[in-house]
């Protein structure tokens, strides 16, 4: 991948994928984005379209119903969707990176055969149950417990801010839970697969969010949820470590989504600056507007290069933790900064929710919070630098 990082030219298969998703975003996603955002409704018809395109199976082998692609292909799709509707993009990102990927990375063959074909087809969604009211980045704050009872696990606790956890097609939540105590006295955290049909599992009413209004997000309650012992995902006690690996990968995906949002703001601003006239000429003829858009373009370009670099390292099997954090940090800030500048360029229209830049303005803030806050990324980067 390093060859075309410097040349700026992607191989044909990547270009074709990006174009197909771009066309889908413009013809299927864009026309309904404002309506779903305003009504806070989940875009089932859009998700079905993404499933038909094979987007949920992009980075998975064909033996599990996937497309036989790679993680970079997923990132390209997320960038194109993110230009138009972040809610749709995060639905795909969470469904693949957080929902299906833990099973692919850490599941046994029986778990892969049972769940991956459903998830890669896009006919079912899975969620990632990590965050709690008192625990996110702080694993020590995890209070959800899973205790063995005969051949079962009995799970009790709560999760919050869980994406794709309450849709009509959600079939599974992978949960981090305290399963014991390590020799050093710290909590032993494992991951367990919980089908959403299990008695005692409840997806509480959806949140009323600032943005990502067409994305499905719920708090979850587990009350004496009983699942078979074989629903343990991966090695007992390795749950949090495994999820950290998933989060490292996910930060590249979020960076790609963020680049899409940043570029979407550029594209909308260029179009508006050419059409909107003030004092007898297009506002884009004014250096103040032109330079603002130029800086927006620079942010998007730099952020794209950063996530390309992180993805190249990951696919080459090289360490990529620092580069993933750098990409996530730069790209999320680019999305937020570009959304703010685009809203300013649009003036009063930028404050109207039916315009894409207004949605980007509301949607982009969470990009600096989800899958590791800006502060967490700075901590990780400093740590990787040896501090």
For residue 113, pLDDT over 90 is answered with yes
Residues 379 and 259 in one domain: yes
Which CATH number covers residue 247? 1.20.140.10
Residues 207 and 136 in one domain: yes
Same domain, 182 and 264: no
- Backbone phi, psi, residue 187, to 5°: -70, 135
Domain shared by 32 and 108, yes or no = yes
Would you call 141 helix, strand, or coil by DSSP?
A: helix
**pLDDT tens digits, one per residue of 348-369:** 999 999 899 999 999 999 999 9
CATH number at residue 111: 1.10.540.10
When divided into structural domains, the chain yields a total of: 3
Instruction: Quick: pLDDT tens for 53-66.
Output: 999 999 999 999 99
| pLDDT higher than threshold 60 for residue 2 | no
Q: What is the DSSP string of 336-350?
A: HHHHHHHHHHHGGGG
Task: Calculate mean pLDDT across residues 63-92.
Answer: 97
Is 133 found in the same domain as 114?
no
What is the 8-class DSSP label of residue 167?
S
Q: Which of 238, 267, 283 is at the close of a domain? A: 238
pLDDT band of 8, cuts 50, 70, 90: low
The answer, yes or no, to whether residue 76 has pLDDT greater than 90, is: yes
Environment class of residue 52 by beta-carbon count within 10 Å: exposed (0-12), middle (13-18) or buried (19+)? Answer: exposed
One domain, residues 221 and 293: no
User: Percentages helix, strand, coil for the chain, rounded to the nearest 5?
Assistant: 60, 15, 25
89 versus 242: the higher-pLDDT residue is 89
> What is the arithmetic mean of pLDDT over 208-213?
97
pLDDT tens sequence across 167-196: 999 999 999 999 998 888 889 999 999 999
Strands 187-195 and 232-233 come out as antiparallel
User: What is the average per-residue pLDDT within 334-340?
Assistant: 98
Show which of 238, 262, 279 is a domain's final residue: 238
pLDDT at 135 (0 to 100):
77
Strand (E) or helix (H) holding 194: strand 187-195
Domain of 374? Answer: 241-384
Q: What is the pLDDT of residue 3?
A: 52
Instruction: Check residue 272 and give its pLDDT.
Output: 97
Q: Are 63 and 159 part of one and the same domain?
A: no
The dihedral region occupied by 372, where left means phi > 0, alpha psi between -120 and 50, and beta the remainder, is left
Q: Let me know whether 95 and 130 are in one domain.
A: no
- Is 79 annotated in the active site? no
Q: Print burial letters for 153-175: b (CB count within 10 Å at least 16), e (below 16).
A: bbbbbbbbbbbbbbbebbbbbbb
Looking at residue 141, its pLDDT comes to 85
DSSP state of 226: E
Domain boundary among 200, 222, 238: 238
Residue among 80, 79, 81, 122 nearest 99 (CA) = 122
Do 17 and 97 share a domain, yes or no? Answer: yes
* pLDDT tops 80 at residue 264: yes
pLDDT of residue 4: 53
Alpha helices in 94-157 (DSSP H): 101-106, 109-120
How high does pLDDT run on average in the chain? Answer: 95
Whether 93 and 255 have beta carbons less than 8 Å apart is answered as no
What pLDDT, on the 0 to 100 scale, is given for residue 186? 87
Residue 104 has pLDDT above 60, yes or no: yes
For 376, the 3-state DSSP assignment is: helix
In the chain, % of residues over pLDDT 90: 89
| 246 shares its domain with 195 | no
**Range 15-31 burial, b when 16+ CB lie within 10 A, else e:** eebbeebbebbeebbee
Residues 379 and 249 in one domain: yes
**Dist. CA 335–CA 332, nearest whole Å:** 5
Do 182 and 214 fall into the same domain?
Answer: yes
The residue-averaged pLDDT of 205-229 equals: 97
pLDDT of residue 6 exceeding 50: no
DSSP reduced 3-state for 316: coil
Kindly name the residue from 13, 333, 371, 375 that is annotated as catalytic.
Answer: 371
Neighbour count for residue 5 (Cβ, 10 Å): 14
Residue 7: the pLDDT is 46
Q: Does the pLDDT at position 9 exceed 80? A: no
């Amino acid at each position: 991948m390093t060859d075309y990082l410097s040349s700026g030219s992607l191989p044909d298969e990547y270009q074709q994928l990006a174009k197909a998703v771009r066309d889908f975003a413009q013809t299927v996603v864009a026309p309904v984005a404002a309506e779903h955002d305003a009504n806070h409704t989940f875009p089932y018809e859009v998700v079905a379209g993404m499933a038909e395109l094979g987007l949920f199976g992009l980075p998975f082998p064909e033996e599990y119903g996937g497309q036989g692609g790679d993680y970079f292909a997923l990132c390209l799709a997320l960038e194109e969707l993110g230009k138009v509707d972040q809610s749709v993009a995060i639905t795909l990102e969470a469904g693949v990176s957080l929902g299906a990927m833990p099973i692919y990375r850490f599941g046994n063959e029986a778990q892969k055969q049972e769940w991956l074909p459903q998830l890669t087809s896009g006919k079912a969604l899975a969620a990632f149950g990590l965050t709690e009211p008192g625990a996110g980045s702080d694993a020590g704050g995890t209070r959800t417990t899973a205790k063995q009872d005969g051949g079962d696990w009995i799970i009790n606790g709560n999760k919050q801010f869980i994406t794709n956890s309450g849709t009509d097609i959600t079939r599974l939540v992978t949960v981090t839970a305290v399963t014991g105590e390590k020799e050093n006295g710290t909590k032993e955290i494992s991951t367990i697969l919980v089908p959403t049909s299990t008695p005692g599992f409840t997806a509480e009413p959806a949140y009323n969010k600032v943005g990502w209004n067409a994305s499905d997000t719920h708090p979850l309650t587990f009350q004496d949820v009983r699942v078979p012992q074989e629903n343990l995902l991966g090695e007992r006690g390795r749950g949090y470590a495994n999820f950290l690996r998933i989060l490292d990968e996910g930060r590249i995906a979020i960076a790609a989504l963020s680049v899409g949002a940043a570029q979407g703001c550029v594209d909308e601003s260029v179009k508006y600056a050419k059409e909107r006239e003030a004092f007898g000429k297009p506002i884009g003829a004014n250096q103040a507007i032109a330079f603002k858009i130029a800086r927006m373009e620079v942010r998007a370009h730099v952020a794209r290069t950063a996530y390309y670099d992180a993805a190249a390292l990951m696919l080459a099997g090289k360490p990529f933790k620092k580069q993933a954090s750098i990409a996530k940090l730069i790209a999320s800030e680019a999305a937020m900064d570009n959304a703010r500048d685009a809203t300013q360029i649009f003036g009063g229209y930028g404050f109207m929710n039916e315009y894409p830049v207004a949605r980007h303005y509301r949607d982009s803030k969470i990009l600096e919070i989800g899958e590791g806050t800006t502060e967490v990324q700075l901590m990780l980067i400093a740590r990787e630098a040896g501090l």
